[in-house]
Amino acid sequence: MKVIKQGFELFHLKNRKLDENLKYRFADWYKHSLPPKMEIFYNSFDILRGRMISTTVFMPAENREFNIGQLSYLGNYSEFIGLYDFVSLEESIESMKNSFNPEDKIHQMHVAYIGDCINNRVLMVGIGDKNLDKIYLECSEHFSDGSRMVEVANDIFEFLGKLALLEKENIGLGISGYDKLYKNWGEDFWRIKENNANA
């Protein structure tokens, strides 16, 4: 499958520094500071559910846009990751509260919630002295080897280097291929060439 965008291209640049109050709330709740490379990530990009850059096509009959790209991790454990989105620092705290009960051992593993994945899996970052900035995939039902978490990257930037938006093998929506699409100047979505949707 052809790469549409990769790594940093998947994010909107941030035009202001990370709010110090959010960093304080993160440190207060997790009992650890935001790891240094994650702080650079959150300072550089607009990180919030629904803010990653996607590739969409406008369907006039429905008067809405549909996603025509497939977000994929191209590193180890790629078949398990299925990342949907990264979360803001506020969403990280709320997601930990909502996803794991207070007695869950995950709270002693020195990790913080940073992304939503398929099948209720979670992308996490190490926040302790021994796992600082490491990226993990958490699976409450455990992986086949019995482990609950697997390390997928040394840090967020290594992870991003293997994250890509790919063309789908079959777009669907009555579109036979990407060559049947075009963009108008200034638009951030694709349109279907007239009389060519299924040609």
Using CA atoms, how far residue 159 sits from 2, 19, 86, in Å, is 19, 24, 12
Asked whether residue 2 carries a pLDDT value surpassing 80, the answer given is yes
Q: Which of 68-77, 117-126, 129-138, 179-188 ranks highest by mean pLDDT?
A: 129-138
pLDDT in tens, 107-159: 999 999 999 988 888 999 999 999 999 999 998 776 677 788 999 999 999 99
- pLDDT at residue 81, as a whole number: 80
Q: What average pLDDT does range 37-66 have in this prediction?
A: 88
Asked whether residue 171 carries a pLDDT value surpassing 90, the answer given is no
The pTM of the full predicted model, rounded to 2 decimals, is: 0.86
Residue recorded with tokens 């790469």: 3
Q: What average pLDDT does range 6-10 have in this prediction?
A: 92
Pairing mode, strands 135-138 and 149-153: antiparallel
| Domains within the chain, CATH numbers bracketed | 3-192 (3.40.1580.10)
